[in-house]
Amino acid sequence: MFDYVVVGAGFAGAVIAERIATQLNEKVLVIEKRNHIGGNAYDYYDENGILVHKYGPHIFHTRSREVWDYLSQFTDWHLYHHHVLGSIDGKKVPIPFNLNTLHELLPESFARPLEEKLVSKFGYNVKVPILKLRETDDKDLKFLADFVYEKVFLNYTTKQWGMKPEELDPTVTGRVPVYISRDNRYFQDAYQGMPKEGYTKIFEKLLSHSNIKLMLNTDYKEVIDIDVKNGKISLFGQEFKGILVYTGKIDEFFNYEFGDLPYRSLRFEFENIQKEFVQPVGTINYPNEYQFTRITEFKHLTGQEHSSTTIVKEYPQGYERNVKGKDIPYYPIPKKENLELYARYKERARQFPHVFFVGRLAEYRYYDMDAVIARALTVFNNKILR
Ligand code: FAD
């Protein structure tokens, strides 16, 4: 029997399992329902030999030296800065909207005075949310805020979430920035890169410890029984009094007793093309055209050299947990009532003091990879290590 069990072999689960195995030197059982490790960061070589990301493009970036150092024990890095272009008014311009975008989309007679106003009011190298621009009493800055909102944000968001921005939590709209800078990189974090041999190799290293027993192709419900009413857990039919780290959906853990937490799902269309490259940068966003939101060309990210190239188009779609093809929950939907529903499950979780709910599904929130790694390390250090 095990004293430590982890459900899910994504970053949240794999990092905690690695710490339990290495730092505590305890045996840990990792249960994963998919036929592979890595969670949504899983990558593999497609039939053409190109390294692709099965669940959408993942770029690693962090400000945290601690997270970077931790992960660097398991990988070398291909140093990479992500660049995104947006297809707007027939041009491919830098995203997020910055001073270069401004000059490419607007006539110089507009762009120059706008740039001067932005810099003198807010300074240089700062990200100003468009909500803040709208609040100024300067009509030119308001015009700019509306321009960015309509050309870059409105239709992309509507496609992404299947609803108008005003139906979402106001913080989503509030965060859209104008970046007062000529820096065309998508992220400005101090540490950015792609794992040299891919993400899956990181997971192989995280989990290849003699203390870790991995069960793939296993839904936790096949081996774990949760008695929600009495707050008891059994593993392989015997009472389990150890620590359970749960990184699956929190509503599933409680048999959906308060209802389903809504998610947005995605459909990915991969295509291999017999050319070395088809895009100038890693990702091109299509806010105002087509049904997909963006196209990513993997070789830009990974640095792989190959005579052909693979791209992926992302089609947002509704999530339905029992419908094949729509049953992968990607993004928690940032709306007040959903967060309230999550809060009820979170309250319910207090009944299980030895179960730690960690990660994007268990905490019903979007985490970047670095944030989920930081969270996993914190849970381990503060709650499991003791
Ligand atoms: P997951 O990776 O989802 O792992 C959870 C695991 O639990 C899964 O393997 C799942 O199969 C397993 N599980 C669930 N239910 C059960 C069950 N019943 N029984 C057994 N196992 C179960 N982050 C970045 O930093 N950079 C990016 O560029 C980036 N791009 C992204 C693009 C997309 C399209 C999406 C959706 C996310 C992106 N992210 C990115 C975020 C990143 O995917 C998450 O930070 C990360 O996956 C969170 O890890 P996790 O362990 O919490 O969840």
Give mean pLDDT, residues 62-76. 98
Residue 134's pLDDT band, with cuts at 50, 70 and 90, is: confident
Which of 60, 223, 247 to mutate for ligand 1's pocket (most ligand atoms within 8 Å of CB)? 247
138-158: pLDDT as tens digits:
999 999 999 999 999 999 999
In this prediction, residue 172 carries a pLDDT of 78
pLDDT at residue 171 greater than cutoff 90? no
Q: What is residue 170's predicted lDDT score, i.e. its pLDDT?
A: 82
Decide: 298 and 312 in contact? Cβ < 8 Å.
yes
pLDDT of residue 27: 98
Q: Is the shortest distance between the CB of 329 and ligand 1 below 6 Å? A: no
Neighbour count for residue 377 (Cβ, 10 Å)? 17
- Cα angle 381, 384, 386 (rounded to 5 degrees) comes to 70
Does residue 73 surpass a pLDDT of 80?
A: yes
Please list, in sequence order, all residues whose beta carbon lies within 8 angstroms of the beta carbon of residue 225, skipping any fewer than 6 positions away. Answer: 233, 234, 237
Task: Look at residue 175 and tell me whether its pLDDT is greater than 80.
Answer: no
Assign a CATH topology to domain 4-79+196-262+332-385. Rossmann fold (3.40.50)
- In this model, does residue 28 exceed pLDDT 80? yes
Rounded to the nearest angstrom, the distance between the alpha carbon of 312 and the centre of ligand 1 is 18
Question: How far is the C-alpha of 132 from the C-alpha of 198, rounded, in Å?
Answer: 39
pLDDT at 267 over 90: yes
Distance 360 CA to ligand 1 centre (A): 7
Among candidate residues 349, 344, 329, the one with its CA nearest the CA of residue 226: 349
Range 85-107 burial, b when 16+ CB lie within 10 A, else e: bbbbeeeebbbbbbbebbbebbe
Q: Considering only CA atoms, which residue is closest to atom 47 of ligand 1? A: 40
Sign of the Cα pseudo-torsion (52, 362, 314, 166, in order): negative
pLDDT confidence tier of residue 386, bands split at 50, 70 and 90: confident
To test the ligand 1 pocket, which listed residue (36, 58, 63) has its Cβ within 8 A of the most ligand atoms?
Answer: 58
**Amino acid 296: pLDDT:** 98
Report domain extents, the chain.
4-79+196-262+332-385, 95-180
Q: Quick check: 360 pLDDT over 80? A: yes
For residue 340, name the pLDDT band (cuts at 50, 70, 90): very high
Q: Whose CA is nearest to atom 46 of ligand 1?
A: 369
pLDDT of residue 109: 96
Q: How does residue 62 score in pLDDT terms, banded at 50, 70 and 90?
A: very high
176 band by pLDDT with thresholds 50, 70 and 90: confident
| Any ligand 1 atom below 6 A from CB of 330 | yes
**350 CA → ligand 1 middle, Å:** 24
